[in-house]
Structure 1
Amino acid sequence: MTHIDEDHILGAIPLIESTPDIFTIGNVYFNSPALLEFKRKSGNISVKQAIKVESLIVDKKIELHGLESGQIFKPNKNIEIQVLSPRKSDLDLLDHSHLNKDSSVTKISNNTKLENVEVLSKGKDNFLKISSDLVNACSIAFILRYKEKSILYLADAHPEIIAENIESLGYSSSNKLKIDIVKLSHHGSFKNISDRFISLISCNTYWISTNGGKGVSKHPDPATLAKLTVNMNRSKNESITFLFNYPIKQIECKNGCLMSENDKREYNVVFKEEHEVIWS
């Protein structure tokens, strides 16, 4: 479980409740409230649910582990997980911070007027300060390698923390980290991507996990898709694919058009609804 936000832990409750009757869980990786000694303030929805998850883990006698950047572990002979986030220094800050229930809400406007991707791609970085987005900045993010395939799973991680740790592995704009699929941070929010991060990776497939958001939180942002479309190095005959786990029409009904059909054709962009990827 990547962090304490409601949309990242709520589904774990029935899963853990059903063990061992339906299936068994060997280990849980989660920077939980007790592991971090959170202040357990009433009214904080995410922290309350995190405490419930943790209590279930203890009751079921499941092993609980925290994770931080720099760790590498292998669940089996074919899978390797290399952790890029969170940093220990940020976990230490979170340990002593005041957490409020709205800390993870990222607001983007309804797309009533959609600029073309060329214009959107030139927008300046708009990520938040780590100190003001600490819960998301403490997301567990990692590279998962399976045989010859790899996925960069970003949860709601901060783009500069990810970029910093990719660079620490020896990658750069001239020696890019090659990834098969990137699960975009924070449902494709423009506040969780940066030009520095884009310059460090080589990838043509991006997964966006969202139903479009709710209330003032609307995802993904067209500017995120535009930046990746225009700024990711690829040849003209290579397409760039955005995978959605909810119907695209449903998302666009909530938030407006994500990219014009003309831009999709000109820049060889594919929008696709996909619930799973099967690798042999």
Structure 2
Amino acid sequence: MEIKFLKAGSGDCILIHNEGKNILIDGGNDSTFLIDEYYNVIAREEKINLLIVTHHDDDHIKGILDLFKHIEAKNESPEIETIIFNSPKKINNLLKEEISANLLSYKQAHDLENVLLKNREINWITTLDSSINELFKDTFGEMSLKIFSPSKEVLLTYASNKGAYLNSDYRCDWNTSIKELAKYIDDKSQDTSPSNKTSIVVYLTIKNKKILLTADVTPERLDKIVDSIREDKDKADFDLIKLPHHGSYRSLNSKTLEKINCRNYVVSTNSSKHYLPNKRAFIKIVQSLKLAEPIEFLFNYEEAIHKLKMTDKEMTEYKIKLKPNTDRWGYGITI
């Protein structure tokens, strides 16, 4: 299995390839490498077997819209088999009605709805569809995936156009030393934004490797998901976790981190928005896990590492390793 965390602006775009099958998760807000990789899939005479749009925020959905526009401009049919997309209209059974949508995230959600209504050969489902995880059993060879859906109540609230969007912690902590920041690590400020509550979380397992792809999930939901995975064990073991909300301090809870055993975390952002990743996120992880070995943070953009301004002395003292992208298109992992 190969996982590519593509450079996609300030957002997420993840391409998973295994045994001739492909899963695409989100499209970021820069589609340059997404479009390249899509045509690499086509050149292998394959298709995107599953496209997951985790939620409607611009830095997850815009690249998907760009991809469809590019395909349409070339008078091609999209080589996409199934999409999981919790669209406002589909959730509310209102696909034939017009709904006013002034917010950016909502406008883009409606744009994607219209694209899918034009391309009815794509199997369009939501996470509210019954037995969604059974649909993909044995589909991707020895790789299995489990999809954690937002609750119906959360989706219906969001689909009714209620609440604020793109909620984040705008305080920049890049210029402050780890020693100073470490004094103030707590869980007082936690992300509760309606859009991030709707994030789809994907759990992959292959060859005894366990990977958690968290989108922008909120701390409360992540805690429940971790409890579900660890069952009766003290900790949930993971080989790789994509940090929620591009390394936001407010997306992590110390209580949840203490239930996790994982040394490798992916940071997906070019750091152009909202001062993400927060340096405090790395400190919270290190302090909560208390591992003897260094914790590795894998970046799809090297420039995001430079903005953090961590010194070699700090990284040694706090057992932090920051690893830059492995290729021009981002960070790749082969299992």
TM-score of Structure 1 vs Structure 2, range by shorter chain: 0.7 to 0.9
User: Do residues 160 (structure 1) and 224 (structure 2) align?
Assistant: no
Residue 124 of structure 1 and its aligned partner are, at CA, apart by 1.4
Residue 228 of structure 1 and its aligned partner are, at CA, apart by 1.1
The 5 Å alignment of 1:132-171 reads 133-171=193-231
The match for 1:67 among 127, 132, 145 is 127
User: Do residues 26 (structure 1) and 81 (structure 2) align?
Assistant: yes
Residue 36 of structure 1 and its aligned partner are, at CA, apart by 2.2
Residue 66 of structure 1 and its aligned partner are, at CA, apart by 1.0
- Name the structure 1 match of 2:19: none
Report the AA paired with residue 263 of structure 1: E
Tell me how far apart the structure 2 counterparts of residues 98 and 23 of structure 1 sit (CA, whole Å): 32
- Name the structure 2 match of 1:120: 182
Q: Say whether the 8 Å CA contact 1:202–1:233 is kept in structure 2.
A: no
User: Do residues 110 (structure 1) and 167 (structure 2) align?
Assistant: no
- Name the structure 1 match of 2:252: 193
Q: Say whether the 8 Å CA contact 2:169–2:250 is kept in structure 1.
A: no
CA shift digits 1:45-97 (9 cap, x unpaired): 11111111121122112111112699534342222222234122311322334
- Name the structure 2 match of 1:95: 159
Structure 2 unpaired stretches of 5+: 1-52
List 4+ stretches of structure 1 deviating above 6 A: none
| % same residue | 26
Cα 1:71/1:195, change in 2 over 3 Å: farther
Structure 1 unpaired stretches of 5+: none
The SS at the match of 1:86 is coil
The SS at the match of 1:7 is helix
Residue 152 of structure 1 and its aligned partner are, at CA, apart by 0.7
The SS at the match of 1:218 is coil
CA shift digits 1:135-157 (9 cap, x unpaired): 11111112122332221111110
- Name the structure 1 match of 2:315: 264
The SS at the match of 2:186 is coil
Report the AA paired with residue 192 of structure 1: S
Residue 105 of structure 1 and its aligned partner are, at CA, apart by 3.5
Tell me how far apart the structure 1 counterparts of residues 128 and 199 of structure 2 sit (CA, whole Å): 9
Alpha-carbon RMSD? 2.7
Tell me how far apart the structure 2 counterparts of residues 36 and 269 of structure 1 sit (CA, whole Å): 42
